[in-house]
Chains A and B, each alone.
Chain A
Amino acid sequence: KQEVTQIPAALSVPEGENLVLNCSFTDSAIYNLQWFRQDPGKGLTSLLLIQSSQREQTSGRLNASLDKSSGRSTLYIAASQPGDSATYLCAGANAGGTSYGKLTFGQGTILTVHP
Chain B
Amino acid sequence: NAGVTQTPKFQVLKTGQSMTLQCAQDMNHEYMSWYRQDPGMGLRLIHYSVGAGITDQGEVPNGYNVSRSTTEDFPLRLLSAAPSQTSVYFCASSYSSWGQNTEAFFGQGTRLTVV
**A-to-B contact residues, CB < 8 Å:** 31-32, 34, 36, 41-46, 49, 89, 91, 93, 95-96, 100-103, 105-108
Contacts and interface: CB of A to CB of B under 8 A. Distances in A.
9 nearest A-B residue pairs (beta carbon)? A44-B106, A43-B108, A105-B43, A49-B103, A101-B101, A43-B106, A101-B31, A105-B42, A107-B42
B74 interface: no
Interface residues of B, number: 26
Interface of B: 31, 33, 35, 40, 42-43, 45, 48, 50, 58, 90, 92, 94, 96, 99-109, 111
Interface of A is mostly: strand
Contacts, number: 58
A27 B45 CA distance: 18
Contacts of B96: 101
Interface of B is mostly: strand
Given A102-B45, A107-B42, A34 B108 contact: no
19 contacts: A32-B100, A34-B103, A36-B106, A41-B111, A42-B109, A46-B103, A46-B105, A91-B43, A93-B101, A100-B50, A101-B33, A101-B50, A101-B96, A102-B33, A102-B58, A103-B33, A103-B45, A103-B104, A108-B42
A105 B105 CA distance: 14
